[in-house]
Amino acid sequence: MDFLSGILLFLCLISCFLIQALHRRTRVRLPPGPKPFPLVGNLFDLGDKPHISLTNLSQHYGSIMSLKLGQITTVVVSSPTMAKEILRIYDHLFCNRTIPDALRVLIDNSLPWMPVSPRWRNLRKICTSQLFATRVLDANKENRREKVQELIASVNDNMIKGLAVDIGKAAFITSLNLLSRTIFSVDLADDDSSSSNEITKEFKKISTGMLEEAGKPNLGDFFPVLKKIDPQGRRRRFTNHYNKMLGLFESVIKQRLEFRKGDDYVASNDMLDTLIDLREEENEEDLNNPKVIEHLLSALFVAGTEQESNIARLPYLQAIIKETFRLRPVAPLLLPRKAETDVEIGGYIVPKGAQVLVNIWAIGRDPSIWDNPNSFMPERFLGSDNQIDVMGNNFELIPFGSGRRICPGLPLAMRMLHLMMGSLINCFDWKLEDGVLPETMNLEDKFSISLQMAQPLKAVPKEIVME
């Protein structure tokens, strides 16, 4: 009798377990997705260009799908409707991020990655109200104009010599100086001297190294048990790059603090002066934390890398920028979000702790949204019936994200892009190098957190001939 009772009790326990498991499985109905392999899950489905692989998978599994990347449940959304659910409607439940293991050094200090908290809110408020406010950007307009004039002079020199311009390199140097002038009123690359070139090369090496280490697949992200040993060394290398950048900014800040002690110091009213003033005059506790200003500046630089007042009257230039963002978004999967609890999206459950990616590459090439989606057609953004912008309100085009974690540097980025692009188009005609045709040029991408061209674009500037 005791034996039979034991058997019945065991069967009851097993039944209860199965019922609970079935109930949990039914309640947590994951979005559809490819069948995962044991242990590795769907890692092999990503390939070396995840944004394209995930786009292809979404065409089969739909605009919301789930994958198992190692031990990590990942949900990918690929439509404006699903993106709005994640970034706007349920933004409060997806406002924090999954942090790549290589970037652990940033979690408590870097605005894009730190958790939503009173400190995060205060630093973001400082960015929007003090650093990127219209009055601040207007006050630094002359600095940006001067840097673009130097770019035009450099391109003009190439035109006289008949040499091609490495567009990416020229844009990087100009962006670097636009940012450094706006932030602390100095040039990190101010001329063609060897010392300046070394600074530019070093800074590019640091920022490129950070982006590459952050964007490459990392076993520690897919198998948390391996995080402690950092098997591929990505966290170690990223941290080394990041500390070098902090050291560069620390030297600039120390120099500024010494200058400010002088009786004859004249405030430059740049971003660095603004941050130091806030720390000293208003006793901003968050700005008094060790190296918080350096961390804030590093986030601005890595993210950033007379025409400005006329942008509103240049609709075709605006359309060119929008079309470029549609086809070639800098961050094709945006920065990852994390579900704070189980959330129902599109009839499915995104489970607590899941990583959530918004594939804006797929959205930008969706034929149900865009006519001829693979063609470069700026005209699609012209006309009173098409008022799509990139400010996070139109989820067909969100290169800077949306919701409370939208990129705070968006206002400066838009001014810089329009100023540089407009000046280069307005001042020169452009031809591809000899032997290169638009139909055959290499437009392949190199994937990391931000996209880069696998083959640098080079073009020959020509004098504009008025007919």
Residue type, position 124, single letter: R
Please check the confidence at residue 332 and state whether its pLDDT lies above 70. yes
**Average pLDDT, rounded, for the chain:** 84
Could you tell me if residue 289 is inside a domain?
yes
Q: 46 near 36, Cβ under 8 Å?
A: no
| pLDDT (mean) for 380-405 | 90
Tokens of 405: 């974690």
Could you tell me if residue 25 is inside a domain?
no
Which residues, at least 6 apart from 388, have a Cβ–Cβ distance to it below 8 Å? 322, 381, 394, 396, 397
Q: Name the residue with higher pLDDT: 83 or 208.
A: 83
| pLDDT (mean) for 184-208 | 71
pLDDT in tens, 19-39: 444 444 445 699 999 999 999
Specify the 3-state DSSP secondary structure of 96: strand
Residue 456 gets which letter from DSSP? Answer: -
Could you tell me if residue 49 is inside a domain?
yes
Could you tell me if residue 13 is inside a domain?
no
Q: What is the pLDDT of residue 195?
A: 56
| pLDDT (mean) for 232-247 | 92
Q: 73 near 353, Cβ under 8 Å?
A: yes
Which residues, at least 6 apart from 292, have a Cβ–Cβ distance to it below 8 Å? 109, 123, 286
Q: What is the pLDDT of residue 384?
A: 67
Please check the confidence at residue 122 and state whether its pLDDT lies above 60. yes
Name the residue range of residue 193's domain.
41-462
Could you tell me if residue 29 is inside a domain?
no
Specify the 3-state DSSP secondary structure of 462: strand
Could you tell me if residue 11 is inside a domain?
no
DSSP characters for 22-91? HHHHHHS-PPP-PPPBTTTBTGGGTTT-HHHHHHHHHHHH-SEEEEEETTEEEEEE-SHHHHHIIIIITG
Kindly indicate the confidence band of residue 310, based on its pLDDT and cuts at 50, 70 and 90: low
Kindly indicate the confidence band of residue 193, based on its pLDDT and cuts at 50, 70 and 90: low
- Looking at the 3D structure of the chain, how many domains does it have? 1
Q: What is the pLDDT of residue 7?
A: 43
Q: What is the pTM of this model?
A: 0.85
CA pair distance 106, 98, nearest whole angstrom: 12
Q: 83 near 77, Cβ under 8 Å?
A: yes
Lowest mean pLDDT among 2-16, 117-131, 269-283, 354-368: 2-16
Q: H or E stretch including 439?
A: none
Which residues, at least 6 apart from 362, have a Cβ–Cβ distance to it below 8 Å? 51, 54, 55, 58, 78
CA pair distance 338, 75, nearest whole angstrom: 10
Kindly indicate the confidence band of residue 455, based on its pLDDT and cuts at 50, 70 and 90: confident
Q: What is the pLDDT of residue 24?
A: 45
Please check the confidence at residue 258 and state whether its pLDDT lies above 70. yes
CATH number at residue 249: 1.10.630.10
Could you tell me if residue 28 is inside a domain?
no
Q: What is the pLDDT of residue 234?
A: 94
Kindly indicate the confidence band of residue 277, based on its pLDDT and cuts at 50, 70 and 90: confident
Could you tell me if residue 16 is inside a domain?
no
